[in-house]
Structure 1
Amino acid sequence: MVSEGIVLGHVVSEKGIQVDKAKVDVISRIPYPTNQKEVRGFLGHAGFYRRFIEDFVKIAQPLTRLMQNDVDFIFDEACQGAFQLLKDKLVSSHIIRALDWKHRFEVMCDPSDYAVGTVLGQRIDGKSYVIFYASKTLNQAQKNYDTTEKEMLAVVYSFEKFRPYLLGSKVIRRCIPEWEQRDVLYHCHTLACGGHFGPRKTARKVLDSGFYLPSLNNDAYEFCQNCGRCQQTGGISTHDEMPEVPVIVCEVFDVWGMDFMSPFPSSYENLYILVAVDYVSKWIEAKATATCEAKESNGQAEISNREIKGILEKTVNPLRKDWSKRLDDALWAYRTAFKTPIGMSPYRLVFRKMCHLPVGVEHREYWEVRETNMKPQTCEEERKLQLQELEELRLESYDVAMWYKEKTKLWHDKKPPGQGVAGWSESAPVPITVEADARKAKV
């Protein structure tokens, strides 16, 4: 009974499947290349396994320079080190493992002055595992990018490279391109759903909408500083702040604070605003009235009064006669704004979901991604089918290459030693008719 055998280049025995040492020794004994042709052949072989080699482009950089035109072939110490390191990577055991669709993916990218590298992995039971390595060389224009632009280039390259894996995941947050950033900030700060809040709440509203900006906090601060309505109305001093009060333990909508806001210019016969604020969720209700029946103020409601009044000051027309019509928009902006005491917006706390602001309707690309994410099972099946098709194409290409090498070897073996073929030199390409055989091989 056979206890050990070689199958597809691997040794199969009772110990399991192991790599054939003869194959490893062939790669370990490859001498240093002496010309560009040998360098090209080595890089072609190593490039076939580049997904298993981390930072392949960075390691092979000294060798790729030798492939440029008008460059003297000088195999210096840097080239020798890169050559030896690639050989060691090829013969060593890789740490890549198969992916698990039940766990989330992690993308780690790192740019340098001449290349970008990225890793697709998963964290399972607190440990990180590698699934895919990818890297590419920067062109001359990309090398002139600053550090921030190179980092964003690495992020974009990572998502484009790993798009089949990440498209159905739960971690898609659309990065806004530069020409759309001001429009998103305008929606989340200036329009009715924005409320002219400060930089922190404006930035939080952008994140709650599912968007991402590389320098969100700085952009939000600069946008608020340049907002004319915010600069005209000024801010609230420490003299107007409410003193600390004991915390009341209660449920949502159990305890309300009520107060009247006044005075206001007459707006459709309305002079006052009746405000009611929930102590827990900070949910606010308000109604414009013509009379005031307040006997004493409420501290909880006064905080909301100032914010509602600040929103109205920045959104009404110069005559301030339309504040009663703008009241519903001000309430909507207040309810969807992030509140530090509760760690979220009142809308999210009450309805237990995010509010879809009008900014999302105008950016169709974001909603297309969201619509795709609604069908994770369909995305997983489509990705598996695409990966299977790629694997079949790779195996078919490998079979065709092996078939061509065998045909070439047979042609050389048939030629008598020391004699050439008329009309062909020793270094000329080999003429082979492969039409009939190609049909048999289904190329």
Structure 2
Amino acid sequence: MCIWSYIGNSLDSSSDSRVQANIEAILRMLEPRNVHELKSLQGKLAYLGRFISNLTGRCQPFSRMMKKDIPFEWDEACDKSFKSIKSYLMKPPVLVALVLSRPLILYVAAQERSVGILLAQKNDERKENVLYYLSRTMTPNELKYSPFKKLCLALIFAIQKLKHYFQSHSIHLVSKANPLKYVMKKPVLSDRLGRWYLQLQQFEITYTLQKAVKGQVLIDFLADHLILAEWELSEDLPDEDLVIEVTLP
């Protein structure tokens, strides 16, 4: 079946052909037997990144084998992730074309080792359609951030990667905690927070507290970005060292 029917009309025909080829190649693949085959898999997945929710999290079991002097060992966690990715690609989400006159909705999530982004837009029926997925692992230094600061990192990551969307649209940021408040209202900014502050000032971003999970798009996104249960939420402005975080409803 042509993958075009799944991913909507956001791609031209040549891009669609490459997407379909990568999906079909992954679905035909056997489990990697060495680092070379694993790199081939990850290259194909990287091309499909905007279509896959929490790609970074899904690929985490593979990451350790890409490090120097680490022996290749395809274990149960790798096998589970590989099968999960294949299952996901059997029924990929519908990504639709952008409507220029409408605002965009941005969901951000921070896990222990990665951040995830979902960019969406409401259609004529007021249902949210997915435009873009993004995710990445944190650097060793970023792993030391407080959970709230990791949420800010996710927002800055979205701005840096999707800047052209932010420049031409108003953005409704939705989450269970307010990263804008953390950066914009802090009395004393570190060098990093100061840089984040300057980036945030460039765009029209409004924050809405996520009080309830509505719609399959958000349900699926949160399911792909599960948060540790012991991380608690507070709407008070935290100190940089205070550990708070988004939790699932």
Calculate the TM-score normalised by the size of structure 2: 0.60
Q: Deviations over 1:313-340 (max 9, x none)?
A: xxxxxxxxxxxxxxxxxxxxxxxxxxxx
Q: Deviations over 1:16-69 (max 9, x none)?
A: x999x9997654332111111110011111211111000000001111221111
Distance 1:148 1:157 in 2: 14
The aligned counterpart of 2:182 is: 214
The aligned counterpart of 1:48 is: 47
Percent pairwise identity: 23
Letter in 2 for 1:68: K
| 1:82 equivalent in alignment to 2:81 | yes
CA separation of 1:159 and 1:37: change in aligned 2, threshold 3 A: same
Query: Which residues in structure 2 correspond to 1:215-364 (within 5 Å)?
Result: none
CA separation of 1:367 and 1:150: change in aligned 2, threshold 3 A: closer
Higher relative contact order (CA 8 A, sep 6+): 2
SS of equivalent to 2:168: coil
The aligned counterpart of 1:30 is: 29
Distance 1:215 1:145 in 2: 14
Distance 1:70 1:108 in 2: 37
The aligned counterpart of 1:98 is: 97
Distance 1:74 1:66 in 2: 7
Deviation of the 1:117 alpha carbon: 0.6
SS of equivalent to 2:148: helix
The aligned counterpart of 2:225 is: none
Q: Which ranges of structure 2 fall in alignment gaps of 5 or more residues?
A: 5-12, 174-179, 188-196, 205-249
Kept in 2, the 8 Å contact 1:63–1:83? The answer is no
Letter in 2 for 1:139: T
Distance 2:140 2:77 in 1: 22
Q: Over alpha carbons, which structure has the higher Rg?
A: 1
The aligned counterpart of 1:165 is: 165
Q: Which ranges of structure 1 fall in alignment gaps of 5 or more residues?
A: 1-5, 12-16, 174-211, 221-362, 371-443
| 1:131 equivalent in alignment to 2:165 | no
Bigger Cα displacement from structure 2, 160-169 vs 75-84: 160-169
The aligned counterpart of 2:211 is: none
Letter in 1 for 2:146: D
| 1:108 equivalent in alignment to 2:76 | no
Deviation of the 1:129 alpha carbon: 0.8
Kept in 2, the 8 Å contact 1:120–1:162? The answer is no
Q: Considering only aligned residues, what root-mean-square deviation do their CA atoms show, in Å?
A: 3.7
SS of equivalent to 1:151: helix
The aligned counterpart of 2:238 is: none
Distance 2:31 2:199 in 1: 51
Deviation of the 1:161 alpha carbon: 1.5
Letter in 2 for 1:137: T
Distance 2:169 2:22 in 1: 39
CA separation of 1:22 and 1:169: change in aligned 2, threshold 3 A: closer
Query: Which residues in structure 2 correspond to 1:47-66 (within 5 Å)?
Result: 47-66=46-65
Letter in 2 for 1:156: I
Letter in 1 for 2:120: G
CA separation of 1:106 and 1:135: change in aligned 2, threshold 3 A: same
Bigger Cα displacement from structure 2, 127-136 vs 62-71: 62-71
Q: How many residues align?
A: 177
Kept in 1, the 8 Å contact 2:32–2:38? The answer is yes
Q: Deviations over 1:388-421 (max 9, x none)?
A: xxxxxxxxxxxxxxxxxxxxxxxxxxxxxxxxxx
SS of equivalent to 2:141: helix
Distance 1:56 1:119 in 2: 12
